[in-house]
Amino acid sequence: MQKRHESISFQMSFQRELRNTVPDWSNSCGGKWIGPDRWPRPVTVPRRQSCLHHKQRLRTLRNNTRRELVQLRDDNALRHLEHSVKAQDTGVVQAIDISKHKTWSLHNSQYDFLPRVNVSKQLSLQHAHHDLQFYVAAFSYLRHAQLHWDLENLQKQSVLSAELLRLRNSARLMLCNFEEAFNSSRLYAPNHKTHKTLRTVKRVPMEKKLMKLKTPLVELHRQAVLAADGQRAEKPRQPDSLDLRFVKYQYIQYLRHLTKLLAKQSKRDCKATKENKRNKQTNRHQPASGLST
């Protein structure tokens, strides 16, 4: 009786999740859109004060990113690997093993499209926000494909589906952190005429990028939606194991490099920046030296 109840409960949660038409990578903070005409007015502040505000935002973002990275690493270390697809999901198991990434690193070139952080460049909050949207989408579509397989074969959530949910929640949390940092930066811009906004990637271009994975995620997602709507759907397939490993591994690497870059840029000397700008202006107006004939 209890097993039948769990099966019905899982089917209902599957339908609820797959019938949601709002992309999981949008509105990560759960706010309500009010339109630009009701946004808080930017505060015009001196450049040095703006720099100090920016450094504080980067430190907060660094701490949040580091905290999430440590949480993922601890979670990965404490959970033991479960190979059986029929195993019960508990708080001590995981399904995606990335401990031996060197053994499958020869496939790196096939996954060079996954977002990475260039630690030698200046951090762009907009660019990081765009990258994190992809990781949310990837974990979401991988989960939906696995959930459909769970429905047909287990009638309960598998260990893999549960892990993909944790990873998606992690990526959504990071996406929200960067969204909040960006919105905060608009309030203390040295130039109040700046009108930069964050953009949510549309479903079609996002799915086009997801199609670069080995798993036919877009088609599997469509079949899962059909199944959730009670329509005839093709037999589900599990995600490719390499896709799972690389997306999880590169996401954790992304957070690791983000933490380093945020730590580096949050130490920028605002006073030195101001003096450097003054020196550049002085040199620009200084006449060139030399002998005329």
First-to-last alpha carbon distance for the chain, in angstroms, is 103
The owner of tokens 């939906």 is 144
Instruction: Flag whether 209 is in a domain.
Output: yes
Instruction: Flag whether 210 is in a domain.
Output: yes
- CA nearest neighbour of 185 among 51, 70, 92, 74: 51
Using alpha carbons, list the distances in angstroms from residue 14 to 9, 106, 144, 148: 9, 36, 9, 8
Instruction: Flag whether 69 is in a domain.
Output: yes
Instruction: Flag whether 34 is in a domain.
Output: no
Q: Which residues contact 52 (CB under 8 A, 6 or more apart)?
A: 270
Instruction: Flag whether 203 is in a domain.
Output: yes
Instruction: Flag whether 12 is in a domain.
Output: yes
Strand-pair partners of 94: 81
Q: Residue 291 has what pLDDT?
A: 35
SS3 of 124, please?
Answer: coil
- CA nearest neighbour of 253 among 242, 261, 241, 265: 261
Domain carrying residue 228 = 2-20+42-81+124-273
Instruction: Flag whether 183 is in a domain.
Output: yes
Q: Residue 293 has what pLDDT?
A: 32
HSE-up of residue 143 (Cα within 13 Å, Cβ side): 22
Q: Residue 284 has what pLDDT?
A: 54
pTM here is 0.85
Strand-pair partners of 93: 80
Q: Residue 52 has what pLDDT?
A: 74
**Distance (Å, rounded) from C-alpha 172 to C-alpha 27?**
9
Instruction: Flag whether 101 is in a domain.
Output: no
Token pair of 232 as six digits: 């005839």
Token pair of 124 as six digits: 């762009």
Q: How many domains does the chain have?
A: 1
HSE-up of residue 210 (Cα within 13 Å, Cβ side): 28
Q: Which residues contact 151 (CB under 8 A, 6 or more apart)?
A: 10, 11, 14, 227, 236
Count CB-CB contacts under 10 A for residue 47.
Answer: 14
pLDDT tens by residue, the chain, 293 residues = 556 666 789 999 999 999 999 999 998 998 654 455 554 555 555 566 667 777 888 999 999 999 999 999 999 899 988 888 778 787 889 999 998 888 888 899 999 999 999 988 899 999 999 999 999 999 999 999 999 999 999 999 999 999 999 999 999 999 999 999 998 876 655 554 555 789 999 999 999 999 999 999 999 999 999 999 999 999 999 999 999 999 999 999 999 999 999 999 888 777 654 445 555 555 555 554 443 33
